[in-house]
Amino acid sequence: MSTFEFTILIAIGSLVAGMIGALTGLGGGVVIVPLLTLAFGVDIRYAIGASLVSVIATSSGAAAAYLKEGFSNMRVGMFLEIATTIGAITGAYLAASTPTSAIAIIFGVVLLYSAYSANKPPKDLLTDEPPDRYATLLKFDGSYPADGGEKSYRVRHVPAGFGLMYVAGVLSGLLGIGSGAVKVLAMDQAMRIPFKVSTTTSNFMIGVTAAASAGIYLHRGYIDPGIAMPVMLGVLAGALIGARILPGAKVRTLRLVFSVVIAALAFQMIFKGVKGSF
């Protein structure tokens, strides 16, 4: 395979990854790392470095569009980024001393959870519980565009969400993904934020989380411009397409297909990690 063909194929795969990442809020990294390591034989640490760059591109491409549409909750995102940034730096330092086979196995487990999370039906959870005192203090409650006009919501369980975000940050720094599955879980299930708001806020957050650990990977020489550039451009284009589709999209079929593909990649990553093939 020539360098040109290699670059074009990576860019095409990255475009699809970016679109799926923007639609689901999981980030394109869950596809990029397996794509580079399994299909193209790239060393997993360089794949993670390129994935972190792509995650920043995904966030940059989708977040602006979602913010303009009125979906993202900037107050929640900026607050929770404190936890994810600290976690991302922790994960990036752990990656240097963790064997690549162990990283592959951990990545496979996270992929399995991402497949499960992506296929869960979205829930817009509005309850009659009293307002959360932390959410009220920080003015987290908001609204988002819905059929028939703006729909309001209340944010719940802020401390639990903050703790889950630290875990998401560690996974991002260690595995080179946006760890959107954990972010969406924390906001949708723990904090009771409507699904579309959780997804769009996750897309905003994953870029900041990835940037916190990308600098460490760059310093260690794990970001190869020849790999990172086509990945970044492909994911950015895909993220912009996904951001245009999401507001009116019914993504149930896409989620099912995504879950099947991610689960297959997960089992292959775990199998190769156990065998020590990385």
pLDDT tens profile 213-245: 788 888 889 899 999 999 989 988 887 787 777
User: Residue 5 burial (CB < 10 Å; 0-12/13-18/19+)?
Assistant: exposed
Q: Tell me the C-alpha distance between 237 and 70, whole Å.
A: 21
pLDDT bracket for residue 82 (50, 70, 90):
very high
* pTM recorded for the entire structure: 0.70
* Residue 8 pLDDT class (50, 70, 90 cuts): very high
Q: Can you give the residue ranges of every domain in the chain?
A: 3-275
Q: Encoding tokens for residue 238?
A: 């895909």
Round to whole Å and give the CA distance between 165 and 187. 9
